[in-house]
């Protein structure tokens, strides 16, 4: 904890003109972190993941001097999107384009008008965040990120792609970006979070992304994490859905030696809908951990989850999912599914789907399966003259692509399929060697 204290002290000393309320927020959050501590195996929601590399390793906050000398326009997930480019934690306006109908603020400016979005207290809305040490660490050290507000009745036709890249560096840096996305009444947008690593150096990213959907707002959110083997990536995606709001979220994670993604969905208004799907492709000895909480706090809301893991080599996956139906709610419809495919005998999967229901008049289901490739499916394909390796690839591709059938953007769908294919090819080549 000492080196994080040192980084906080340095941050405060180098930003003496920072708003006093923000400085107080940082200090209070760090005090809470010291009392809570980093997760251990005794903490139920964290017990399958070892965070010692983050707790004991040395990472310094990114500096302006960490920018590369030359950086070309990034290869976006969707070439037709509005790019928002952030390199080593630093926003690059010359490479970015902000569409009409959106206001963009820095974190300090946003804090002045929306301090509740940064609150550290024990009320119901933030209690789970208070139990998340990495949320507290992000609040203490947040040094990057932006706030986006989509105006009422505005529909953004093209995707907005947040491209967060860690490029060539000579030191073990860390960034703690804080993003806020507010979709006002009757607005609609597609937002892509795209994390890339273009360095072989170890680094640490700890992101918090808050999404607030007002009445009848529609959000398509795609989160794509594709970073190097030596990276450590911790993230929180928190969604608040007001009445008649609609969320369609898809997540794809490839890379990172250590990856932990916390997803939290709160239905705070009636008749909301949320579909949250995700796929983790894990090889080597990487470790990916996914924790999902869907809170049904109002009536007539529907949630659907489909999360899949494909594991190769000595990799490890963790899925913890919980659907909570609050008391005095009715007509809740919730489904949670976790399916996992093991491509090697040395890979390991831990799955724990849960339902916590405090009301009647609900339809809720959950389930989890873990296994290897169906030999009958392989036999069927091979009987038609398909090689064993190609048959395996076809089965795995079909298993993976089911997660993203609801993506309507052809460009994103094509890039996702390409990435899945590249990962399978990499795993296949590794097996041959």
Cα 166 to Cα 195: distance, rounded to the nearest angstrom: 8
CB 159 within 8 A of CB 78: yes
What are the angstrom distances between the C-alpha of 379 and each of 109, 387, 388, 394, 396? Answer: 61, 10, 9, 12, 14
Question: pLDDT tens across 106-119, in order?
Answer: 888 888 888 877 87
Tell me if residue 110 falls in helix, strand or coil. helix
Find the DSSP H helices in 156-221: none
Find the DSSP H helices in 214-326: none
Question: Is 154 a domain residue?
Answer: yes
Domain count, the chain: 1
Cα 29 to Cα 38: distance, rounded to the nearest angstrom: 13
Question: pLDDT tens across 195-223, in order?
Answer: 998 888 899 999 999 999 999 999 999 99
Question: Is 388 a domain residue?
Answer: no
Residue 334 Cα to chain centre, angstroms: 21
Tell me what pLDDT residue 430 has.
Answer: 66
Residue 81 tokens, joined = 């999107």
Q: Is the pLDDT of residue 125 over 50?
A: no
Q: Is the pLDDT of residue 433 over 70?
A: no
What are the angstrom distances between the C-alpha of 126 and each of 57, 121, 374? Answer: 28, 7, 44
Cα 400 to Cα 418: distance, rounded to the nearest angstrom: 12
Q: From the DSSP assignment, how many helices (H) and strands (E) are in the chain? A: 9, 21
Question: pLDDT tens across 402-422, in order?
Answer: 999 988 888 888 888 898 888
Q: Is the pLDDT of residue 429 over 80?
A: no
Question: pLDDT tens across 142-175, in order?
Answer: 999 999 999 999 999 999 999 999 988 888 999 9
Residue 247 tokens, joined = 């969320």
Please give the share of the chain, as a percent, with pLDDT higher than 90. Answer: 69
Q: pTM of the prediction?
A: 0.94
Question: Is 384 a domain residue?
Answer: no
Tell me what pLDDT residue 124 has.
Answer: 46
Residue 251 Cα to chain centre, angstroms: 7
Q: What is the dihedral of CA 393, 396, 399, 400, to 10 degrees?
A: -90
Per-residue confidence at 276, pLDDT binned at 50, 70, 90?
very high
Question: Is 344 a domain residue?
Answer: yes
Residue 136 tokens, joined = 């507290």
**Longest Cα separation, the chain:** 72
Question: Is 220 a domain residue?
Answer: yes
Question: Is 380 a domain residue?
Answer: no
HSE-up of 178 (CA within 13 Å, CB side)?
Answer: 19
Residue with tokens 């809301």: 301
Question: Is 340 a domain residue?
Answer: yes
Cα 412 to Cα 151: distance, rounded to the nearest angstrom: 25
Cα 316 to Cα 298: distance, rounded to the nearest angstrom: 36
Tell me what pLDDT residue 123 has.
Answer: 46
Question: Is 412 a domain residue?
Answer: no
Domain that includes residue 87, residue range: 2-373
Give the orientation angle of helix 20-36 with respect to helix 2-14, to 10 degrees.
180
Q: Is the pLDDT of residue 45 over 60?
A: yes
């Amino acid at each position: 904890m000492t080196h994080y204290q040192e980084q906080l002290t340095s941050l405060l000393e180098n930003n003496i003109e920072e708003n006093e309320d923000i400085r107080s927020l940082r200090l209070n959050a760090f005090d809470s972190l010291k009392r809570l501590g980093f997760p251990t195996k005794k903490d139920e929601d964290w017990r399958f993941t070892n965070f010692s590399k983050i707790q004991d390793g040395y990472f310094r906050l990114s500096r302006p001097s960490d920018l590369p000398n030359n950086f070309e326009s990034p290869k976006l997930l969707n070439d037709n999107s509005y790019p928002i480019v952030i390199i080593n934690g630093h926003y690059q306006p010359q490479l970015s384009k902000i569409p009409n109908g959106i206001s963009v603020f820095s974190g300090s400016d946003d804090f002045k008008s929306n301090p509740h979005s940064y609150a550290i207290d024990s009320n119901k809305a933030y209690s789970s965040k208070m139990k998340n040490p990495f949320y507290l660490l992000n609040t203490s050290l947040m040094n990057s990120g932006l706030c986006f507000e989509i105006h009422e009745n505005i529909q953004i036709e093209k995707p907005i792609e947040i491209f967060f890249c860690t490029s060539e560096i000579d030191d073990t840096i860390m960034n703690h970006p804080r993003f806020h996305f507010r979709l006002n009444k009757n607005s609609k947008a597609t937002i892509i979070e795209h994390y890339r690593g273009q360095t072989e150096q170890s680094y640490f990213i700890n992101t918090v992304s808050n999404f607030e959907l007002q009445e009848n707002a529609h959000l398509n959110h795609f989160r794509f994490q594709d970073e190097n083997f030596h990276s450590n990536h911790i993230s929180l995606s928190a969604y608040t859905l007001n009445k008649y709001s609609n969320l369609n979220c898809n997540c794809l994670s490839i890379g990172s030696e250590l990856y932990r993604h916390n997803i939290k969905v709160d239905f705070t208004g009636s008749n909301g809908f949320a579909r949250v799907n995700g796929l983790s492709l894990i090889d080597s000895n990487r470790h990916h951990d996914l924790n999902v909480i869907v809170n049904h706090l109002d009536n007539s809301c529907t949630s659907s989850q489909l999360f899949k893991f494909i594991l190769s080599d000595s990799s490890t996956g963790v899925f913890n999912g919980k659907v909570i139906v609050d008391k005095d709610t009715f007509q809740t419809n919730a489904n949670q599914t976790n399916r996992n495919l093991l491509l090697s005998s040395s890979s390991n999967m831990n799955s724990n789907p849960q339902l916590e229901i405090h009301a009647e008049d609900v339809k809720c289901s959950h389930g989890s399966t873990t296994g290897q490739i169906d030999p009958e499916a392989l036999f069927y394909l091979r009987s038609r003259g398909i090689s064993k390796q190609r048959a395996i690839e076809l089965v795995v591709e079909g298993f993976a692509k089911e997660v993203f059938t609801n993506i309507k953007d052809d460009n994103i769908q094509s890039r996702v399929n390409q990435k899945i294919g590249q990962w399978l090819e990499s795993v296949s080549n590794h097996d041959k060697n």
